[in-house]
């Protein structure tokens, strides 16, 4: 098969799960799937020129993609650009998250004493905006510890990827790394007003059984890759 045919085959593998999730509508999860797919392409033997060509087509098609979004999804994007243009509407979540983060200071207001989170000014404090709730109650220091914990976990996963016995195992671990990295960066960025609100959970921290289950299964696959790399099979 030619490079274009291979890329087309990989694209077909993406379209089914991406399309079904996007149709839900669940833009955040569909973006996670798309970023994992793209990251695996960059770490495989696919011609980089083909990948950059595909990305160019996606960028050109962005106006059409924007028209396919639900009204509330469009409001989230416009609210991210200028949340103070509609502080009681599309910009409300971002503004309350920033107030919570700023109100915590270095050491926080105390566990269970956050004014924004406990008085429910901060929406979805247990899921989407859990990072803002943590920094408000436990301070920027706790947020920094959480960030360092993610960096430690990602470093350990990179070690496992480097020791994988074969390319399949390496790509499995790479996919898990991309998933955790993307979710953490987007969610924390969203809480700091640096990313649009997407509804993506903070890995291993946000409430949600399905999210936790999927992450634990993913880490179990990483453990399997590590086991086989040590056994030499």
Report in angstroms the alpha-carbon separations of 22 from 33, 55, 77, 157: 10, 19, 16, 29
> What is the pLDDT, as a whole number, of residue 173?
96
Task: Compute and round to an integer the Cα radius of gyration of the chain.
Answer: 20
> What is the pLDDT, as a whole number, of residue 6?
80
Kindly give the parts of the chain with pLDDT less than 70: 1, 232-233
> Residue 10: what are its φ and ψ, rounded to 5°?
-65, -35
**Residue 164 region by backbone torsions, left for phi larger than 0, else alpha for psi between -120 and 50, else beta:** beta
Cβ pair 46, 6 in contact under 8 A: yes
Largest CA distance in the chain: 61
Q: Is the peptide bond before 25 cis (omega within 30 degrees of 0)?
A: yes
- Taken in order 199, 204, 206, 209, is the CA torsion positive or negative? positive
Residues 47-66 have pLDDT tens digits of 888 889 889 998 999 888 88
**Which residues, 6 or more positions from 217, have their beta carbon under 8 angstroms from its beta carbon?**
none
DSSP state of 205: T
User: Which tokens hold the place of 205?
Assistant: 């921290």
Helices 3-23/27-42 angle, 10° precision:
160
> What is the pLDDT, as a whole number, of residue 160?
94
Task: Tell me how long the chain is.
Answer: 233
User: CA-CA distance, 65 to 58, in Å (whole number)?
Assistant: 9
Residues 109-123 have pLDDT tens digits of 888 888 888 888 888
Where are the extended beta strands (E) located within 11-120? none
> What is the pLDDT, as a whole number, of residue 232?
58
Report in angstroms the alpha-carbon separations of 177 from 43, 101, 155, 181, 218: 12, 27, 9, 6, 10
> What is the pLDDT, as a whole number, of residue 180?
94
């Amino acid at each position: 098969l030619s490079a274009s045919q291979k890329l087309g085959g990989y694209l077909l593998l993406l379209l089914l799960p991406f399309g079904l999730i996007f149709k839900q509508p669940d833009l955040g999860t569909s973006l996670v799937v798309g970023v994992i797919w793209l990251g695996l392409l960059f770490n495989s033997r696919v011609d980089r020129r083909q990948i950059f060509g595909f990305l160019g087509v996606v960028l050109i098609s962005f106006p059409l993609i924007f028209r396919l979004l639900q009204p509330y999804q469009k409001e989230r994007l416009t609210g991210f650009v200028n949340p103070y243009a509609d502080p009681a509407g599309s910009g409300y979540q971002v503004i309350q998250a920033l107030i919570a983060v700023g109100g915590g200071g270095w050491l926080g207001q105390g566990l269970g004493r956050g004014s924004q989170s406990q008085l429910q000014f901060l929406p979805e404090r247990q899921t989407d905006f859990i990072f803002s709730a943590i920094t408000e109650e436990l301070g920027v220091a706790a947020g920094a510890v959480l960030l360092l914990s993610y960096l430690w976990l990602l470093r350990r996963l990179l070690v496992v990827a480097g020791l994988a016995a074969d390319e399949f195992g390496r790509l499995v671990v790479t996919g898990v790394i991309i998933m955790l990295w993307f979710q953490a960066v987007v969610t924390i960025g969203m809480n700091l007003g640096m990313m649009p609100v997407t509804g993506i959970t903070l890995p291993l921290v946000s409430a949600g059984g399905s999210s936790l289950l999927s992450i634990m299964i993913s880490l179990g696959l990483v453990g399997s890759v590590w086991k086989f790399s040590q056994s030499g099979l």
